[in-house]
Amino acid sequence: MSVRTATASTAAAVLGAGALLLPAAQPQETAALTSDRRTSPVVVAHRGASGYAPENTLAAADAAKALSVEWVENDVHRTKDGVLVVLHDTDLKRTTNVEEVFPGRAPWAVKDFTAAEIAKLDAGSWFGSQFTGTRVPTLSQFVNRLERNRQKLLLEIKSPATYPGIERDILRVLGQAGWLDRSHVRDRLVIQSFGADSVKEVHALRPDITTGFLGTPPVADLPGYAAFTDQINPSYATIDADYVAAVQRLKGPHGKRLRVSTWTVNDAANAAKVHAYGVDGIITNYPDVVRDATR
């Protein structure tokens, strides 16, 4: 999904050491990316509430919590020594100070660094000085924070071809953290990827897990995707009401209609537009803006 887009006014400020002054939290109607219930779209905090805190950090998950947002999206890579870490890009340059800490290690790919090396990096200063010292979390740390916050997870497997076997690694970590029990799998977890083979692998390994394919497959190809995925999650710029309806007419591998969660919608006008299309979820950096626009 695309990088953070500043389409809302600056709304994050410091209140003491690292505390956020966020818009007032509003109650959110309980809904699930994993059910057939028709409601207002589920609002998903993209890389956490990444309009208000550095993306894919524990601070961004907490910012979503402060806004009463249940669903949090993240991105997962694997380090040189096999640890799963949460960040978006295949390299560390944009969201950490890796070039300063390890100046001779270009191109600074995640896969070329150990977890201990990545743990030394500052993943917050680029966003704002109040986040100086924020770290890149491991997947274990991230899901433990979501558990503490009573949040839910839309997990994206990034660049799966770069990390053979990452699907098994993700399931192992989720299992160790208690996220593969019946209640989590039923109500609090979706795993998605742009890689169809990766989504198929997750479905083959754990058919009970809800999966999502990121992209906008042609309507004629949708029945093939419905064999292994429960959701088609496209960019909002690539869909219309007819496409959403075509997806929702099909049933996925769990016998429920396919759902559509669209990304990355950061302003009220586009949120209202995709709401009118009938989407099931909206993934956004500014969950408060989208929630207010789709009530």
Active site residues: 46, 88
Angle made by CA atoms 139, 62, 37, in degrees to the nearest 5: 85
Write the CA distances from 269 to 17, 211, 224, integer angstroms: 35, 28, 33
If we measure between CA atoms, which residue out of 250, 245, 249 comes closest to residue 274?
245
In sequence order, what are the beta bridge partners of 14?
20
Q: How many CB atoms lie within 10 A of CB 233?
A: 30
Cβ proximity of 79 and 111 under 8 Å:
yes
Q: How far apart are CA 87 and CA 60, in angstroms?
A: 12
Within 107-211, where are the H helices? 115-118, 139-149, 166-176, 182-187, 196-205
Length of the chain (residues): 295
